[in-house]
Chain A
Amino acid sequence: MRELAVKGYYLPEPLRAEISGFSYSVHEFPEQDAVMRVEFPVVTPRFLEKVIAFLKEKKAYLESLPVATIADILDRASEQWLDDTSPKKVAAVEAISLFTGFSPEMVRESIRVEHLSSRRDDLLRALRSELGDPAFLDGFHYSKERGCHSKATGPELTAAIFSSNIPGLPHLSVMRSFLVKAPIMGKASREEPIFPPLYAETLKEIDPELGNCLAILSWHGGDEEIEKILFNHCSVIIVYGSEATCTSVCKRVPPGTRVISHSHRIGFGAVGREALNKKAAPGLAQKIAYDVSTFDQFACISPQVYFLEEGGAVSPKEFMPLLEQAMKTQEQKAPPARLNIEDAAVLRHLHNTYELRELAGENVLMRAAENLSWTVVYEPLKEFLSSPLHRFIRIVPLPDLQDIVNYLAPIKGYMQNAGLAVGEERRAEMFNLFARLGVSRICPPGKMPTPSMMWHHDGLPCLGEMVRWTDAEMF
């Protein structure tokens, strides 16, 4: 039996003496013949106050670093997390895979895509994109547009509530906070408390003093006494979670607090008939399969439905065997997540249903792995249907791609990411349609899981939202 002991927290060295006690959660994985024990410091109000006071003092250190230096350190951290041979990465992949159920290959891929877009150049470009010039963070700097000297200042302390769905993602909030020179107090999800502390360790190894600018703790989400203390001290709060979680946080913060919410969102794809030609179709199928398989659809950027226009050289139905083949290829590259009984019951029920509908001669078609690893369904839906996830994609045929609005209008404001393949001449109309519906990112199929650092995540300038400006109009 494998026994793993994992730390579900990170604290700057001087704060460790303040820990009054630990709690442990023990997780058994009989099918993997493994057991994991996760250690959490008990978070009392007094302890949290101390951590917060300590972190706030470190604001001065961050302010003393040029933003380019911070970007350099973050770049080195990403470089290390991209190295599959680093002992920390190896340990992380094993533990996260066991804990979350994602396959080791998928954990590795997830960390890879998250850190590949987190290099020095990406970080500085993201700052330029949202602030105009990173130099505004280092001191008063002349702005030609404004005709004055300006400085952008990040909060004294950022609070971040991390999610568990994407391994390797919480580093994004840490990077954003450090880029605007704010210390950060992160709450790790009990469902994935492994990666954030390890990432913090990496930062400490590269720059020990930067390692004093963040803490990762965990408590049961919604603990009002604890969270009230945190929210009272942080003027910026980044929240990943369900609608309910984000709404609850928004209700509990003091007036003037900026809450940057990343709640649940839906992704989808749309392919015009001109893209469904014989030559391009097999490659397109591989790209769609990659979009669907990456993160096992547990990301807000993952597609739940792909709309395919009829009338091309390859019909949506003819596309099915290609997609089937491509899903198999993806399964081999990165096997799907472990299925629990509840999720499997839903998938099995759907498989049984489509099997019956197909037998009855309905115009539906299912191609799926017998072991539920992936499912492709051709179905002329009347309205948008969400996927049960776990690589379950519906291919919806549309006589005209413009009809997509009928499916998307009812979920306006809830859409995140659109994979789009249409001819040059149709792009503008589709872009505008998606913009009207509140889609925050449009990309070609095959690129859905890999947004850039510069993307307006959830349609927001996430870095821009974190700073406040001082304009000196005296010169």
Chain B
Amino acid sequence: MATIYHRITEYIKSSFTNRDENAFNRLALEVFSFQYTNIPIYQKLCDKRGAAPGKVSSWRDIPGISTEGFKLFELFSKPPAEAKRIFSTSGTTQGVKKGRALFSEEGLELMDTAILENARRCLFPDSGKYRFLIIAPPPEKAPHMIMAYGMEQLKKKYGLPGSRFLIGERGFVPEELAKELKLAEHENISIALIGASLGFLTFFDYCALQGLAFNLPAGSRTLDAGGYKGKEREIARDEFLSLGSRFLGIPPAMSINLLGMTELGSQFYDNALKNHFNGSPDKRCKENPPWTRTLVFDPRTMKEVPLGEKGVLWHLDLTNLERVAAIQTDDIGRRCEQGFEILGRARGSEARGCSLSIEEITKKS
């Protein structure tokens, strides 16, 4: 009998064309049972919530573990020695432990399959090859950064010669990207400009300052990820799109955002590029690849909120087989017809009133 790794892999490969809700539910329950048995702290949490294999019949009732769990524990279903790769969160606030995600050889393969299937569907539905310019450090320089790893996988599969990572010893140097973009214009080669959202902003600022504007060859596209977590600067998606169109000549439909988390093996793409190629008029949102689900809970009651209302995001991801598949985040978002939107991170009472937060003091000093 095929292992559960294989069965999930098979499901991932077929699920875009053959959406099977029952098969998903069966696999999700199987994953739940596997994790209940193999991850002791998760078992304790489930017991406390009164959830156990056999008692849970729908994926919706699988208890989510807080993203904090990845900081507090090694959530890994195998002996630690079998971890081939460990990714860690950036750690946004001072003194906070980093979250860690452990992957075995098989676990990495499972994630690779998901990364490529997802990209085929959402980033390269027109199935070409592109010169990748990546605003991230190369994986060998940032072995714990899951974004760098994922982008490397995309580059390997869809990248033309000349593709490269742009964050090196000197950090991100906008001049280098400008040089590459000029070259691409000159050679008429389509570009996949992908990487950190903040890097894009830096580059747009640079273009504005230098009076530069590119008109990248047809088929070029951008993918940005990472958001503006913990940074002062933050811009709305519409503004991002208009900057991309102004400085890169990328039409809004060819510019998409990716929500990725170290805690998840799968990522959530904007559906805009896919919709553009399918001629679908749907509003831009994050779409769940079929091996994942996202629910939105009212944090006050932990009941699901109606479509369009705000709540905290809960994700279920079958590629998280070795860690915990159901994750409770403190990201604020809402569900929409085709998927979900992320609106921001919980930040708490912004020192309303005259109660002062420590953060405010440390920010000042």
Interface residues of A (CB under 8 A from B): 163-166, 191, 240, 242-243, 262-267, 295, 297-300, 302, 304, 339, 341-349, 352-353, 355-357, 359-360, 371-372, 383-390, 411, 414
Given contacts A265-B356, A342-B348, 9 further A-B contacts (CB under 8 A): A163-B353, A164-B353, A295-B353, A297-B355, A342-B332, A345-B312, A353-B72, A356-B45, A384-B358
A-B contacts, 24 of them at CB < 8 A, read A242-B351, A243-B364, A263-B356, A264-B356, A266-B355, A295-B353, A298-B349, A298-B353, A298-B354, A299-B353, A299-B355, A300-B353, A341-B299, A341-B311, A342-B332, A342-B348, A345-B332, A348-B299, A353-B66, A356-B41, A356-B65, A356-B73, A389-B349, A411-B361
Identify B354's interface contact among A191, A263, A341, A411, CB under 8 A.
A263
Interface centre among A166, A240, A304, A356 (most CB of B within 10 A): A356
Are the C-beta atoms of A302 and B355 separated by less than 8 Å? Answer: yes
Inter-chain contact A389/B65, CB cutoff 8 Å? no
Q: How far is the CB of B48 from chain A (nearest CB, A)?
A: 7
Tell me, in angstroms, the Cα distance from A387 to B360 when the chains sit together.
Answer: 13
* Chain A residues near B351 (CB-CB < 8 A): 242, 264
Smallest Cβ-Cβ distance to A458: which chain B residue: B354
Docked pose: A449 CA to B347 CA in angstroms: 26
Q: Which residues of B contact A389 (CB under 8 A)?
A: 348-349, 352-353, 355
A242 to B356 CA separation, bound complex (whole angstroms): 8
Which residues of B lie under 8 Å from residue A243 when comparing CB positions? 356, 360, 364
Q: How many angstroms between the C-alpha atoms of A389 and B353 in the bound complex?
A: 10
CB of A386 within 8 A of CB of B357, answer yes
B41 touches A359 (CB 8 A): yes
Closest chain A residue, CB of each to CB of B71: A353
Q: Nearest CB to that of A338 among chain B residues?
A: B300
Q: How many angstroms from the CA of A267 to the CA of B353 in the assembled complex?
A: 13
> Which B residues touch A344, using CB under 8 A?
298-300
Residue on B nearest A247 in the bound complex, by CB: B364
Complex: how many Å from CA A243 to CA B359?
Answer: 12
B353 and A266 contacting across the interface, CB-CB below 8 Å: no
Closest A-B pairs by Cβ, 10 of them: A165-B353, A264-B356, A345-B346, A298-B353, A300-B354, A352-B66, A346-B348, A344-B299, A349-B330, A348-B299
B44 interface residue (CB < 8 Å to A): yes
Cβ-Cβ contact count across A and B, 8 Å cutoff: 136
- Which residues of chain A have C-beta atoms less than 8 A from B358's C-beta? 384-386, 411
Please report the C-alpha to C-alpha distance between residue A300 and residue B91 in the assembled complex, in whole angstroms: 30
Q: Determine whether B294 belongs to the interface, using a CB cutoff of 8 Å to chain A.
A: no
Determine the distance from Cα of A359 to Cα of B41 in the docked complex, in whole angstroms: 7
In the assembly, what is the distance between CA of A360 and CA of B95, in Å?
21
Any A CB within 8 A of the CB of B197: no
User: Which chain B residues lie closer than 8 Å to A359 at the CB level?
Assistant: 41, 44-45, 48
* A347 contact set on B, CB distance < 8 A: 299
Q: What are the residues of chain A within 8 A of B298 when measuring CB–CB?
A: 341, 344
List residues of chain A with CB within 8 A of the CB of B332.
341-342, 345
Q: Would B301 and A355 count as touching, CB distance under 8 A?
A: no
B349 contacts which chain A residues (CB < 8 A)? 298, 343, 346, 388-390
* A348 near B302: Cβ-Cβ < 8 Å: yes
A295 vs B353: C-alpha distance in the bound complex, in angstroms?
10
CB distance from B170 to the nearest CB of A (A): 34
Closest A-chain residue to B302, C-beta based?
Answer: A348
Contact A386 B330 (CB under 8 A): no
Complex contact B356–A355 (CB within 8 A): no
User: How far apart are the CA atoms of A349 and B356 in the complex, in Å?
Assistant: 20
Write the B182-216 contact mask toward A (1 if CB under 8 angstroms, else 0).
00000000000000000000000000000000000
**In the complex, A240→B300 CA distance in Å?**
30
Q: How far is B224's CA from A50's CA once the two chains are assembled, in angstroms?
A: 53
Whether the Cβ atoms of A355 and B353 lie closer than 8 Å is: no
Q: Are A165 and B354 in contact (CB under 8 A)?
A: yes
Given known contacts A344-B300, A346-B330, A347-B299, A356 and B72 CB-to-CB distance under 8 angstroms = yes
Which of A304, A342, A346 contacts B355 (CB under 8 A)? Answer: A304
Cross-chain contact A352 with B328 (CB below 8 angstroms)? yes
CA distance A166 to B332 in the complex (A): 28
Q: CB-nearest residue of chain A relative to B66?
A: A352
Bound CA–CA A82/B177 (angstroms): 68
Question: Of all chain B residues, which has the CB nearest A413?
Answer: B361
Q: How far is the CA of A342 from the CA of B352 in the complex (A)?
A: 13
- The residue of chain B having its C-beta at the shortest distance from the C-beta of A382 within the complex is B95
Can you list, as one digit per residue, whether each of B6-50 has a CB less than 8 Å from chain A (1) or not (0)? 000000000000000000000000000000000001001100100
By a CB distance below 8 angstroms, the chain A residues around B304 are none
Known: A343-B349, A344-B300. A360 touches B72 (CB 8 A): yes
User: Once bound together, how far apart are the Cα atoms of A386 and B66, in whole Å?
Assistant: 21
B180 at the A interface (CB under 8 A) = no
In the docked arrangement, what's the CA distance between A297 and B349, Å? 11
Q: Are A348 and B312 in contact (CB under 8 A)?
A: yes
Q: Are B356 and A300 in contact (CB under 8 A)?
A: yes
Nearest CB of A to B201, in Å: 23
Q: Are B330 and A356 in contact (CB under 8 A)?
A: no
Query: In the complex, how many angstroms separate the beta carbon of A379 from the nearest chain B beta carbon?
Result: 14
Shortest distance between the CB of A266 and any CB in chain B (Å): 5
Taking the closest CB of chain A, its distance from the CB of B119, in whole angstroms, is 30
A345-B72 contact, Cβ under 8 Å, with A242-B351, A352-B66: no
- A356-B69 contact in complex given A165-B352, A349-B330, C-beta closer than 8 Å: yes
Interface centre among A163, A349, A372, A390, by most chain B C-beta atoms within 10 angstroms, is: A349
Q: Which residues of A contact B117 (CB under 8 A)?
A: none
Q: Is the CB of B352 within 8 A of A298?
A: yes
Do B348 and A298 touch across chains, with their CB atoms under 8 A apart? no
Q: Give A390's nearest chain B residue, CB to CB.
A: B349
The answer for the CA separation of A371 and B300 in the assembled complex, in Å, is 6
Contact in complex: B300, A360 (CB < 8 Å): no
Chain B, 38-68, CB within 8 A of any chain A CB: 41, 44-45, 48, 65-66, 68
Q: List, in ascending order, chain B residues with CB within 8 A of A388's CB.
A: 348-349
- Which of A339, A341, A347, A372 gathers the greatest number of chain B CB atoms within 10 Å? A341
Residues of B within 8 A of A384 (CB): 358
Instruction: State A191–B354 Cα separation when bound (angstroms).
Output: 14
Give Cα distance in the complex from A302 to B357, angstroms: 12
B310: interface (CB < 8 Å): yes
Q: Which residue of A lies closest to B300 (CB)?
A: A344
Most chain-A CB neighbours within 10 Å: which of B349, B352, B357? B349
Determine the residue in chain A with the shortest Cβ distance to B358: A386
A349 and B357 form a contact (CB under 8 A)? no
Residue of A nearest to B313 (CB): A345
Cross-chain contact B72 with A357 (CB below 8 angstroms): yes
B330 cross-chain contacts in A, Cβ below 8 A: 345-346, 348-349
Contacts of B364 in A (CB 8 A): 243
The answer to whether B353 touches A166 (Cβ under 8 A) is yes
Closest to A166 in B: B353
Over the window 277-304 of chain B, the binary record of Cβ atoms lying under 8 Å from chain A Cβ atoms (1 yes, 0 no) is: 0000000000000000000001111100
The one of B66, B73, B301, B353 that contacts A349, using a Cβ cutoff of 8 Å: B66
Least distance between B342 CB and chain A CB atoms (Å)? 12
- The CA-CA distance from A386 to B352 in the complex, in Å, is 13
Residue pair A262, B346 in contact (C-beta under 8 Å): no
